């Protein structure tokens, strides 16, 4: 009888300690979505299509853009200076839980000003109350020193497979990451964004990259 009580006690303790771990969300979903051990620029996934929008300009225009978005929403790369100017739009992004990432300046500026990246990340955290998981320079140039900073900060460098704004729709490619602009002098029209959105099923960047087959581009020396 005593042996049975001891055995039941041990089994109960094991259940308390280990059963909750079986239902715990995967750490890959809770922490940085680090896909590789080395700092690289991700420009393509393994399956499907993902849409990203670079935003650095506009108030009413961006409000109209946000109203048009449907699930799954594209990943919004947001210029932090723009976000600081329009807190109401930031609140809408946060309220709707739209996926958002940090859009940086031209890549070469991080070589001339090494403190700039850390400052922008801090500003992003202050505005969005979360650390960015994804980062993209506005010209998609990632100097080696910047990639090292991203790796140390556990933030992923995300480029794109193709840039598109208007004209013929891009040919569908497995794992493609499409980037569309929303800048002062370079922005996609809402009708063209709608045309692109309806041209193929889109999925989140995370879903696109779950399979670890990733295409990379050469890093500038």
Q: What is the predicted pLDDT for the residue at 22?
A: 34
Query: Could you give the CA distance from residue 63 to residue 76 in angstroms, rounded to a whole number?
Result: 13
Q: What is the predicted pLDDT for the residue at 52?
A: 97
Q: Determine, yes or no, domain membership for 6.
A: no
Average pLDDT, the chain: 83
pLDDT tens per residue, range 156-188:
999 999 999 999 999 999 999 999 999 998 999
**Helix (H) or strand (E) run with residue 64 in it:** helix 60-68
Q: What is the predicted pLDDT for the residue at 71?
A: 85
Q: Does residue 211 have a pLDDT over 90? A: no
Query: Could you give the CA distance from residue 100 to residue 52 in angstroms, rounded to a whole number?
Result: 10
Confidence of residue 31 (pLDDT cuts 50, 70, 90): very low
pLDDT tens per residue, range 46-94:
889 999 999 999 999 999 999 988 888 999 999 999 999 999 999 999 9
Domain harbouring 175, CATH code? 3.20.20.370
Query: Quick one: tokens of 204?
Result: 């989140």
Give this prediction's pTM: 0.79
88/20: higher pLDDT: 88
Q: Determine, yes or no, domain membership for 126.
A: yes
Q: Determine, yes or no, domain membership for 106.
A: yes
Q: Is the dihedral of CA 32, 37, 39, 43 positive or negative?
A: negative
Query: Could you give the CA distance from residue 162 to residue 141 in angstroms, rounded to a whole number?
Result: 14
Counting the structural domains of the chain, the total is 1
Query: Could you give the CA distance from residue 88 to residue 210 in angstroms, rounded to a whole number?
Result: 33
Structural domain boundaries, residue 187: 35-216
């Amino acid at each position: 009888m005593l042996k049975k009580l001891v055995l039941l006690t041990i089994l109960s303790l094991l259940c308390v300690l280990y059963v909750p771990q079986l239902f715990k969300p995967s750490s890959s979903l809770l922490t940085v979505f680090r896909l590789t051990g080395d700092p690289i620029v991700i420009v393509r996934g393994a399956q499907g299509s993902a849409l990203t929008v670079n935003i650095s300009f506009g108030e009413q225009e961006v409000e109209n853009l946000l109203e048009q978005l449907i699930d799954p929403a594209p990943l919004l790369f947001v210029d932090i200076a723009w976000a600081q100017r329009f807190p109401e739009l930031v609140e809408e992004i946060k309220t709707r839980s739209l996926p958002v990432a940090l859009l940086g300046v031209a890549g070469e500026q991080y070589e001339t000003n090494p403190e700039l990246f850390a400052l922008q990340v801090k500003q992003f955290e202050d505005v969005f109350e979360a650390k960015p998981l994804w980062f993209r320079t506005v010209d998609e140039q990632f100097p080696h020193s910047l990639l090292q900073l991203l790796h140390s900060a556990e933030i992923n460098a995300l480029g794109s497979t193709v840039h598109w704004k208007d004209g013929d729709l891009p040919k569908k490619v497995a794992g493609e990451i499409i980037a569309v602009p929303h800048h002062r002098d370079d922005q996609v029209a809402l009708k063209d964004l709608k045309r692109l959105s309806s041209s193929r099923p889109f999925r989140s960047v995370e879903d696109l990259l779950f399979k670890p087959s990733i295409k990379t581009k050469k890093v500038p020396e």
